Amino acid sequence: MKRILSYLLPYKKRLLIGFSIKVFGTVSELFIPFLLTYILENVIVTEDISKIVFYGVLMMLCALGACVGNVTANRMAARSTADFSIRMRHDLFKKTLYLSAKDTDRFTVASLESRITSDTYNVQNFIGMMQRMGVRAPILLLGGVAITLFMDSALALVMIATMPIIFITVFCIARWGVPLYTRVQKSIDDMIRVVREDIQGVRVIKALSKNEYENRRYDAFNKKLVENERRASIVMNAGNPIMTLLMNLGIAAVIAVAAVRVDKGSSSTATVIAFMQYFTLISMALMSLSRMFVMYTKCAASARRISEILDTPNTFPIEEDDGMGNEDEHISFENVTFSYFGKKPNLDNINFSLPHGGTLGIIGATGSGKSTIVKLLLRFYDADSGVIRINGKKLSSYSSDELTSMFGVALQNDFLYADTIEENICFGRDISHDDVVKAAKIAQAHDFIFATPDGYDYKISAKGTNISGGQRQRLLIARAIAAKPDILILDDSSSALDYKTDANLRKALKENMTDTTVITVAQRVSSVKDCDVIIVLDNGKIIGKGKHAELLENCPEYKQISDSQMGGAFLD
């Protein structure tokens, strides 16, 4: 909670003002029953109309002060809470963008979504309630007890006797609630994950008639969530009935003792009337405290989950370069080994180098480690052993900004967002229209863009569902090359292109990006055959390395792939 509450520090002046106004409004409310008792016992008996009017107006002013003070303080609290939640969500979202791929895998995307949405909502609700009721309820409780002790200590002690039992009940319930609501949030994570998977694969689900299967799968997670919520609700909702019972018993005890004391002349009817009003205020305060404890259990569980993200350290610190690299080599992998789960290596002793402006093709079966090489080069993960260098310097010696500024990347399943074609290519970068058009021409996208009703201003739907798969890939390639990167990575990004378009793309890249080092990951030999170096991967190991003609002679696996694709002939 300390980590989350630190977001309130910039608003401490506003919170202090709101606190002061809230105190004024609550104290004004506390004086109303006291003034009523005083009028009934000391003013009415004088039959002085001016006194009665004066104290009546004073009661009205107290009521007005209570109303204006509480409304003003609540409005300030709402504004402070909104500003607080904006900063917290912004930092949380920013942190998720900078999490390493390893940490993202550990938390899962569904959990990150849940933390940004439902967890921040729980924290926001509690912070808002604390500002509204966290000030008012204790003042009503303590102030009411103090005034009733002053008016009639015997009746006050009867009322106070129930409070320790109430506090113990609330404390125990709140303590049980935190782990219960943690389980609830975990179940929400699981349900969101299923929803995300089904929404992304809805076309496949329909095509394979798996609607009922996915309904059952979702229903299983939904029932688990409902069960966890039911358990949490049973525990947390037990608080209100127990507190109501204890408070009603307290009221009954106060009335019983008050009847005896009034009969003996030790107390007055006016005092009993005031006591009942104060007891109502104290009961409302206790109920508010009970609700705050329920909200606290949700908030504490959510705050813990949010803090886990915010406090996640940078797992990829910047290290000193060892000065042992060769500056003539733009990219080099030196005995690189890596495993996602620390068991079987996904890459095993990978060695290759590439000069400035060189081209590298990576080919192999699904799961052979092609994309893993790209992820290590982009430092989504760190290698378990070995060294990766760019311009002769260790990859780990570059800052994140330095590293990402070198690359242009197009992935097979990359995303497009709902905006114009030009904005999707620019991607928030300062790229001129001429450079956008040039990139589109190189990527073989200009002709189909020009054919759309609005050209480069044509609106693309989310994920590019209103254009074809090949058109999406060409826009992604245009995005990758628009900023003129030093290193261009095409990770299976032309799989949806026909052979002729793919050949034209490779030709345009060769003619227009002579100073750019290009790495092409592909399933098709035609996409890599013109590369300066081709490496063939199998189960994370390099089983062949060289030019196309060399591999046809020396690597049976490569030759087999080549022969299986158009009998080894290619469309140039």
317-351 residue pLDDT tens: 788 888 888 888 999 999 999 998 777 889 999 99
Give yes or no: residues 192 and 277 share one domain. Answer: yes
Q: Kindly state whether residues 401 and 271 are assigned to the same domain.
A: no
Identify whether 507 is part of a domain: yes
pLDDT at residue 569 in the model: 45
pLDDT of 428 over the 80 cut: yes
Decide if 494 is inside a domain: yes
Summarize the confidence of residues 376-389 as an average pLDDT: 90
CATH, residue 438: 3.40.50.300
CB atoms within 10 A of CB 518: 23
Of 129-143, 290-304, 525-539, 556-570, the poorest mean pLDDT is in: 556-570
In a domain, 325, yes or no: no
Range 492-498 average pLDDT: 81
Q: Looking at the domain assignment, is residue 542 inside a domain?
A: yes
Judge whether residue 570 has pLDDT over 70.
Answer: no
User: In CATH, what number is assigned to the domain containing residue 53?
Assistant: 1.20.1560.10
* pLDDT on residue 174: 67
- Are 17 and 78 found together in one domain? yes
The lowest-confidence range among 130-139, 168-177, 259-268 is: 168-177
Binned at pLDDT 50, 70 and 90, residue 567 comes out as low
So what's the pLDDT on residue 568?
A: 44
Last residue within a domain, chosen from 424, 456, 484: 484
572 has a pLDDT exceeding 60: no
Question: Region 438-452: what's the mean pLDDT?
Answer: 91
Task: Say whether both 385 and 419 belong to one domain.
Answer: no
| Residue among 281, 268, 36, 280 nearest 152 (CA) | 268
Residue 284 pLDDT more than 80? Answer: no
Average pLDDT, the chain: 84
Q: How far apart are CA 210 and CA 229, in angstroms?
A: 29
Tally of domains in the chain: 3
Query: Do residues 437 and 365 share a domain?
Result: no
Identify whether 538 is part of a domain.
Answer: yes
Is residue 436 located within the same domain as residue 507? no
Eight-class DSSP state of 458: P
Using CA atoms, how far residue 71 sits from 26, 75, 133, 282, 455, in Å, is: 11, 6, 12, 20, 53
User: What is the reported pLDDT for 171?
Assistant: 72
pLDDT of 542 reads 92
pLDDT tier at 566, thresholds 50, 70, 90: low
- As a whole number of angstroms, the distance between CA 371 and CA 463 comes to 21
Given a cut of 80, is residue 219 above it in pLDDT? yes
Question: Domain boundary at 484, 502, 519, which?
Answer: 484
Specify whether 130 is located in the same domain as 229: yes
Q: What percent of the chain has pLDDT over 90?
A: 19
Q: Establish if 272 belongs to a structural domain.
A: yes
Q: Are residues 439 and 378 in the same domain?
A: no
Q: Using the 3D structure, point to which of 484, 508, 533 is the last residue of a domain.
A: 484
Same domain, 465 and 531: no
pLDDT of residue 478: 92
Instruction: Indicate if 245 and 126 belong to the same structural domain.
Output: yes
Predicted confidence (pLDDT) per residue in 105-160, tens digit: 888 887 888 888 888 888 988 888 888 888 888 888 888 888 878 877 777 787 77
Domain of 556 in residue numbering reads as 342-406+486-572
Confidence tier at 264 by pLDDT (50, 70, 90): confident
**DSSP assignment of 167-233, as one string?**
HHHHHHHHHHHHHHHHHHHHHHHHHHHHHHHHHHTHHHHHHTT-HHHHHHHHHHHHHHHHHHHHHHH
Whether residue 359 is found in the same domain as residue 429: no
Task: Examine residue 379 and state whether it is found in any structural domain, yes or no.
Answer: yes
Over residues 251-261, mean pLDDT: 80
Whether the pLDDT of residue 548 is over 80: the answer is yes
Mean pLDDT of 3-31: 86
In a domain, 436, yes or no: yes
Task: Indicate if 459 and 508 belong to the same structural domain.
Answer: no
